Amino acid sequence: MSHTPTSTAPSGNVISVSQQTAQQDKKPSLTGVRIKQRKRQAQAAAKFEPEGRSDDKRLMRKTDTASPGFRDALLLHLSLLPAPPSTEPLVAKLVQAGSTLEYIKYSEQLFELLFVGGLLQPGGSYLDDKRSPVYILKTDDEITVEGNGESGGGEGWKDGVTGMVEVLKRVIQRYKYLQKPLEENFLPDLLGYLAKWDPASRAKLAEATALLILDLQCSPRCLQSLVKDHVVKDGVALAFLTAFCRTYLTKQTVEHLGGTIRRSGLKDILLVFPIQTRDRKHLEDHFKQENLPAINEWYAKIALSEMKEQTISNVARMLGDEESNEQVGNSQLDQADSRSSSTSAISRMTSLFPRRSYASGSGKD
């Protein structure tokens, strides 16, 4: 008689060996946790989001459009400025926009709109044709045309570069985190694009940079961008520095300007001259022609001070080598004659080391 074996497994769900292995290999996961993106990476990606998400929901409801980007939302704020635009309403609109828009994330876009009027691509070209109604580089012709338009009142922005710098100053005083990206990232990059602008625009940027350093206490290290080869070429950097110095000297002394140039890390203002004119004579001729004699006087003092320090160092070295006093004096005179590019510098050095003969070689009178 056959016997069919019955199963001894317990009743209920039967778990196979493969299912048990899969459950053991399954790694734990955190649900609902969002990985935070790096700040720089978020800012870089946000700049070129043409239809990115806007946090200004009030504007989105008002215009009934699909998710305008930061630039479009800010331009919408600025389009509500009364005509003619002036400093106080512009500051109020920017402060109001900052309460809803992410200035800390879109600081580069914000400064591009306020300085050059639109977004810039790498290299300094405009990304598209959208422009802010008010910005530093806006020409008088553009202001007149818009002022005579439908929203017009027949007038436009009358406060000039000084008024826009005052606007930037007050907005940054309200949102203090904006100063660091302005002085460390935006201004150095913008000055690297100087060759892209016409001379009038470069003069406005120079005036704005000088006023920001004076009034907002921005770091002058952005001036290091002036020594880049493509900026030095064709006298672009020299024209910018000249306009910068002219604006600076209307508010401060040449000694204060010298301290700012020293803190900027710009080792020598001769470095902004094209290489074929990089000498003392062309420097003096240029600033004399630009009616800035104070720059020549300051530079002469700096050059003389450096010559004195070098002379003292050389004399100490030669005396350490036990050379005679006559050799030391004549050697320094020869070096001074070869270094000096003007008669005044030579005469000053000669007064320090008058040529004379030493009877005993002891150097005592």
Q: What is the pLDDT of residues 214-248, one digit of tens each?
A: 999 999 999 999 999 999 999 999 999 999 999 99
Residue 292 confidence class, pLDDT cut points 50, 70, 90 = very high
Percent of the chain with pLDDT over 90: 51
With a CB cutoff of 8 Å and minimum separation 6, the contacts of 261 are 220, 223, 269
pLDDT surpasses 70 at 55: no
Residue 302 confidence class, pLDDT cut points 50, 70, 90 = confident
Taking the C-alpha atoms of residue 143 and residue 161, their distance in angstroms, rounded to an integer, is: 13
Encode pLDDT of 130-146 as tens digits. 999 999 998 554 544 34
Coil, helix or strand for 120?
Answer: strand
CA nearest neighbour of 161 among 101, 239, 246:
246
Rounded to an integer, the average pLDDT of 47-63 is: 41
pLDDT at 136: 93
Residue 168's Cβ-count burial label (10 Å; 0-12, 13-18, 19+) is buried
pLDDT surpasses 60 at 153: no
Which of the two residues, 223 and 41, has the higher pLDDT score? 223
pLDDT surpasses 50 at 65: no
Name the average pLDDT for the chain: 77
Of 4-8, 17-21, 61-65, the one with minimum mean pLDDT is 61-65
Residue 171 confidence class, pLDDT cut points 50, 70, 90 = very high
Of 30-34, 94-98, 113-117, 199-203, the one with minimum mean pLDDT is 30-34
Residue 356 confidence class, pLDDT cut points 50, 70, 90 = very low
pLDDT at 20: 61
- The token pair that represents 240 in the structure block: 């910018």
Rounded to an integer, the average pLDDT of 249-273 is: 94
pLDDT surpasses 60 at 3: no
- Strands (E) located in 108-202: none
Which amino acid is residue 78, in one-letter code? L
pLDDT surpasses 70 at 91: yes
Q: Is the peptide bond before 89 cis (omega within 30 degrees of 0)?
A: no
Q: Is the peptide bond before 84 cis (omega within 30 degrees of 0)?
A: yes
Taking the C-alpha atoms of residue 12 and residue 236, their distance in angstroms, rounded to an integer, is: 85
